[in-house]
A and B are shown apart, each in its own frame.
Chain A
Amino acid sequence: MRRLPANFLLGAVLVSIVVGIAALSLIWTPHDPQTMSISTKFAPPSATHWLGTDQLGRDVVAQLMAAARNSMTVALVAVLLGGSIGVALGLLASALGGWVEDGVMRLADLGFAFPALLFAIMLAAVFGPSLTNAVLAISFINIPIFARVTRASANQIWTRDYVAAARAAGRGRFAISRDHILPNIAAAIIVQATIEFAVAILAEAALSYLGLGAQPPASSWGRMLSEAQTLMYLAPQLAIYPGLCIVTAVLGFGLLGDGLRDITDPRLVRAR
């Protein structure tokens, strides 16, 4: 067994921690993340409140855990939704070629030309700020990214002899896309999905920070950050904790994605 690259291992550890905490929050948090207790506000870390409490006396650990769960859910839904549509469009473009391919790819260019956050802000302005709209906005910006990666990888597979053999057996373009192309480009798509997961976490935090994502009382790292901002001199730790969480999650998924690419891309293996 070849040694796994360091970025993959570190990424896997960080992701396990974040995902593990998010999963744990489904069944257990040290306190209810929403319960306020004004008498114990700004409590320092103690045996009951491991990281202390915030300006409303809510337990910080419980909030961070609930926020991790929300963040993971948003990223998962956004990547799955945007990814599926993007992959389907990419496969379609690659299978049909011609003006369909040109059309899809020019639309993808258009999607790239539009700043993602600006689009999300526009969506929030039109439909009102909510977590659902944030998910939709992040999904939407994933579509062109996945469409491009899929088309580029699929075009390579279409030139393979086994695709010609499948055509010679009388299979149609869509059946070939599903049974022969998709499995052979899955690695590239999984790598992209892992990296986009990190981007989605960051985007959710940014939108919630701007007040366009998770609405109170839902917990979110981004919103915790924006609330702590006004209390920076009084209680800087309240901004540092969610900040560290965002860094850990984004770094973890980013490293994991890079590591997966190093493992699955044969060209890089030979270079090493």
Chain B
Amino acid sequence: MIELESLSAHFGNAAALRDANLQIRRGDRLGIVGESGSGKTMLALCLMGMAPDSAHLTGRLSIDGRDMATATERDWRQMRSRRVAMVFQEPMAALNPLRRVGDTVMEPMLLHENLSRAEARARALSLFEEVGILNPEQRLRQFPHEMSGGQRQRVLIALALACNPALLIADEPTTALDANVALRITDLLQRLARERDMALVFISHDLAAVARATQEIVVMYGGDMVERGPTAEVLATPQHPYTKGLLGARPDPAEAGRDANGKRRRLPTIPGSVPPLHGLPQGCRFAGRCPVELAHCADQRPVFTPTEPGRGAACHLLSETGHD
């Protein structure tokens, strides 16, 4: 349904996304994790045809067999909402403060499907019910400032579902929400994808949320897809040092508190921080921060090495020592 083949996005010489390969089929639930600046959002914007004008795209991107890498804004507008839709990170900012939320949700229906206002309203109402908004009749007439963050995120999900898209992209949908609400939104997205047989791309740096919502996972770092595979397996037995680092940096309640000497334990971290785009090493993007770095890591780009069907990582350790 949607295929990316070595899709890259360059800003001048800096690559925000490097050779992304991806196939998304109906019903797939795919998680994309990585820290800020890893290219997650860039990837999502590419899937929506909304990469900034200053980004230079190369490679292939096809939706329903149609090449969209060179498509015009006009072509993309036909795809958006009907084939691909997106839920944004900040529910507080992603709704026009001067429009009633019902009107916002009805907008794409009136635009793409020539529904009458009454029909659109009826569909908006049933969408509000589907995404779990209480008193949907009354909510349709409200303005964003009258709603809580979780409610607004549900409105945005309803907006994304308005024209029954084949793929829903959720770009850090839970980052701005408190833990309890985040959990419920995660479950909602997962349920909607299953019930509607819709593909879901769930972008997050919350590994627990990704584990809950997705079947497959792609780990990104510095614009590269460094590891991928079934979510449970990747999280249980990570193969790329970066994934290991990410998992190691999770707070573990069992080990929290104080160690034997009564000292407060520190949360393990990955040393250093993501360098700016133009400062990334040419070889493995993770070189310089990697705990098991080889001599040629910084200069030579590791190829993606499959370790099992549907699973693999891009790391020199894997290609050198065989399947580990």
Q: Do A and B bind each other?
A: yes
Interface, chain A (partner B; CB < 8 A): 97, 160-162, 164-173, 175, 179-180, 183-184
A161 to B50 CA separation, bound complex (whole angstroms): 12
Taking a contact as CB atoms closer than 8 A, the residue among A172, A173, A184 that contacts B96 in the complex is A184
Closest A residue to B160 by CB, please name it: A168
Task: Count residues of chain B with CB under 8 A from any CB of chain A.
Answer: 32
Chain B residues positioned under 8 Å from A162 (CB to CB): 93-97
Chain A residues positioned under 8 Å from B88 (CB to CB): 161, 164-165, 168
- Assess the A169–B94 pair: CB atoms within 8 A: no
Known: A180-B96, A184-B96. A168 touches B86 (CB 8 A): yes
Question: Which of A97, A161, A180 gathers most chain B CB within 10 Å?
Answer: A161
Write the nearest CB–CB distance from A175 to chain B, whole angstroms. 8
Closest A residue to B85 by CB, please name it: A168
Chain B 68-96 against A: per-residue CB contact (8 Å), 1 yes, 0 no?
00000100011111100110111001111
Chain A residues positioned under 8 Å from B78 (CB to CB): 170
B134 interface contact, C-beta 8 A: no
- Assess the B77–A170 pair: CB atoms within 8 A: yes
Closest B residue to A180 by CB, please name it: B96
A184 to B111 CA separation, bound complex (whole angstroms): 21
B100 interface contact, C-beta 8 A: no
Chain B residues positioned under 8 Å from A161 (CB to CB): 88-90, 93-94
A39 to B12 CA separation, bound complex (whole angstroms): 84
Taking a contact as CB atoms closer than 8 A, the residue among A160, A164, A172, A180 that contacts B77 in the complex is A172
Taking a contact as CB atoms closer than 8 A, the residue among B48, B98, B99, B111 that contacts A168 in the complex is B48
Known: A170-B108, A170-B111, A171-B107. A165 touches B162 (CB 8 A): no
Interfacial residues of chain B within 146-188, with CB under 8 A of chain A in the complex: 156, 159-160, 162-163
Chain B residues positioned under 8 Å from A183 (CB to CB): 96, 98-99
Chain B residues positioned under 8 Å from A180 (CB to CB): 96, 99
- Assess the B80–A170 pair: CB atoms within 8 A: yes
B112 interface contact, C-beta 8 A: yes
Q: Pull 18 A–B residue pairs with CB atoms less than 8 Å apart, ordered by A.
A: A97-B53, A161-B88, A162-B94, A164-B94, A165-B156, A167-B80, A168-B48, A168-B81, A169-B80, A169-B81, A170-B79, A170-B81, A170-B108, A171-B107, A171-B108, A179-B99, A180-B99, A184-B98
Query: Nearest 3 CB-CB pairs, A to B?
Result: A161-B93, A170-B80, A161-B94
Interfacial residues of chain B within 37-87, with CB under 8 A of chain A in the complex: 48, 50, 53, 73, 77-82, 85-86
- Assess the B50–A168 pair: CB atoms within 8 A: yes
Write the nearest CB–CB distance from B323 to chain A, whole angstroms. 41
Chain A residues positioned under 8 Å from B53 (CB to CB): 97
A171 to B95 CA separation, bound complex (whole angstroms): 14
Write the nearest CB–CB distance from A105 to chain B, whole angstroms. 18
Chain B 242-258 against A: per-residue CB contact (8 Å), 1 yes, 0 no?
00000000000000000
